[in-house]
A = this chain, B = another copy of it.
Amino acid sequence: MTSTDEVRRIGPTEPVWWGWGPASEHEPLPDGARALLARLGIPVRPTAPVGLAQVRLPPARLLAAARDALAAIVGSGHVDTHDEARIRHCRGRSTTDLLRLRAGDASAAPDAVVLPEDHDEVLAMLRLASRERIAVVPFGGGTSVVGGLEPARLAEQPMVALDLARLDALGRVDRESGTAELGAGLRGPRAAALLAEHGLTLGHIPQSWEYATIGGFAATRSSGQASGGYGRFDDLVVGLRVATPVGSWELGRAPASAAGPDLRELLLGSEGAFGVITQVVARVRPLPARRIFEGWSVPDFATGIRLLRTLAAADLRPTVCRLSDETETVGGLARPPRSAGPAAAIGTGTADAAQNAAQGGCHLVTGYEGAESAVERRAAEVAGVLLAGGARRLDAAAGPDWERGRFRAPYLRDALLDLGIFAETLETAGFWATLPALYAGVRGALAGSLSSAGLSPVVMCHISHLYETGASLYFTVVCAQGEDPIGSWRAAKAAAGDAIVAAGGTITHHHAVGTEHRPWLDAEIGDLGVDVLRAVKRTLDPAGILNPGILVG
């Protein structure tokens, strides 16, 4: 067995090539959910992905000489040109990405997958790629949902995926300062396991946690479900080590500084367009001694928003806080299938959700992590605010139900795609004063666009990230696929993007820009902002080989 074969060997936790998670974790949509889809008029049309052998790949454009030069840097066992490796590094995990893969379209696949061992190999690889004009796609977990792995390379330009999987070490742990050096290629669970050996945690658990990586979290400004307690990932970054085509760059000498602009903030969210993050020095906290999850019902979404604002203003944010709107409460996508009882709706359909829905309320999950006494006190204080504001406490299973199912949504999407049903998400954030109009505008734009295409959309929303000045909005859309699901979604997403800009929100709260949000970036950061990004790009990547067309183009 060659090393290349080692790379190709797919472990039991690796995802299926056409979707999310390993096949062993897949399950069909519950009957109750199918019944709800029928009631909503969303037609079921079972659709299996093509076989791996049927997937269409573009001809590899990487010349043998370039391949040999890459192999000379990383070792021949770490340049993989097999079809499956190329397919597994083709695009990300947006629904349009999956629809294309399932249909056998891997036309955006890289010519090869290169797996450097360390920072210096990444540096050498970028130098070579600059000289040879090879496009390089930095690849962490491959979980982008914004086209961040589908660069706009020039015709005939070779392209390689730079897979950071081997940069997976936990480096120096500074217990006194509360920081740890984490390799960029560490996935969420592995990073958590390594830190847990020291009694520490990042507390960063986005939906994509199972596969997404430390480097990807930083490069896309990820935000996890526990952001209220631990902060967004950009808050957790103390230092960065970056390999660029023009050399190494290390930043982060102090907990705070006035030594000019904070250039870490230029690399956070840079999506591999300025350089490859190879190591993150992150803030780490003690593993929580106690964890509580609670379920609530609030009278309506507007009341819920006011309650969340009250909590944020009083510095009483729960570690986890997730308010579903009326539709999501009914649809139950807030609590995915593994937590479902027998009466499951689309996602959950526990007795609680059904009861909630019947009463017209909105589902709210609150979670607390930390020291025993702090957790109990915070939970009591938040409960005081919620009860005073008209919230009703759900039974004790409601919180833990949510926790059990917290990573199930992408599995549920695969089950829906298997039935020919479209499901996708998009998100934004706004100030409290703009939030109601932002919610109405985006919801209306999505529903309007998809309805006009005759697709019976269900548009659901939740708030899951609170700030003193505002909050995020996370929309989930479920609808029929129709004849052109990709085209229909692109139109709906464009309408939503315009609505976000019109209502004064941000085009993305935690999914990054990629190619999908690029049309609205000028509205977000201004023409001068785009000019500045271009100037930075020219300085760090003069040959323009890094993720061409991603973020800046």
Write the residues of chain A forming the contact surface with B, with a CB cutoff of 8 angstroms: 174, 176-179, 220-223, 232, 234, 238, 244, 246-251, 253-271, 283, 309, 313, 315, 374, 428-434, 465, 467-472, 504-513, 517, 521, 524-529, 531-536, 538-540, 551
Contacts of A528 on B, CB cut-off 8 Å? 244, 246-249, 539-540
Contacts of A536 on B, CB cut-off 8 Å? 261, 532, 535-536
**Distance A220 CA – B269 CA, assembled complex (angstroms):** 23
**Distance A111 CA – B532 CA, assembled complex (angstroms):** 32
Contacts of A465 on B, CB cut-off 8 Å? 256
A266 touches B532 (CB 8 A): yes
Task: Say how far A231's CB is from chain B's closest CB, in angstroms.
Answer: 10
**Chain copies in the assembly?**
2
B283 touches A469 (CB 8 A): yes
B258 touches A509 (CB 8 A): yes
Task: Say how far A503's CB is from chain B's closest CB, in angstroms.
Answer: 10
Task: Say how far A124's CB is from chain B's closest CB, in angstroms.
Answer: 17
A511 touches B265 (CB 8 A): no
Task: Say how far A142's CB is from chain B's closest CB, in angstroms.
Answer: 18
**Distance A174 CA – B283 CA, assembled complex (angstroms):** 33
A433 touches B174 (CB 8 A): yes
B265 touches A469 (CB 8 A): no
**Distance A432 CA – B177 CA, assembled complex (angstroms):** 5
Contact (A429, B257) CB under 8 Å given A262-B265, A535-B539? yes
A525 touches B260 (CB 8 A): yes
**Distance A232 CA – B524 CA, assembled complex (angstroms):** 25
A429 to B, closest residue via Cβ = B254
A527 to B, closest residue via Cβ = B247
Across the interface, A470 reaches (CB within 8 A) one of B254, B267, B509, namely B254
20 residue pairs bridging A and B, Cβ less than 8 Å apart: A174-B433, A178-B432, A220-B258, A234-B262, A251-B526, A254-B428, A254-B431, A255-B468, A257-B429, A258-B513, A259-B521, A260-B270, A260-B271, A261-B533, A263-B532, A263-B533, A264-B265, A283-B468, A535-B535, A535-B536
B551 touches A260 (CB 8 A): yes
B529 touches A251 (CB 8 A): yes
Contact (A260, B533) CB under 8 Å given A429-B254, A471-B255, A528-B247? yes
Contacts of A270 on B, CB cut-off 8 Å? 260-261
Task: Say how far A62's CB is from chain B's closest CB, in angstroms.
Answer: 28
Contacts of A510 on B, CB cut-off 8 Å? 256, 258
Across the interface, A221 reaches (CB within 8 A) one of B247, B257, B507, namely B257
Across the interface, A511 reaches (CB within 8 A) one of B258, B374, B509, namely B258
Contact (A512, B260) CB under 8 Å given A266-B532, A432-B176? yes
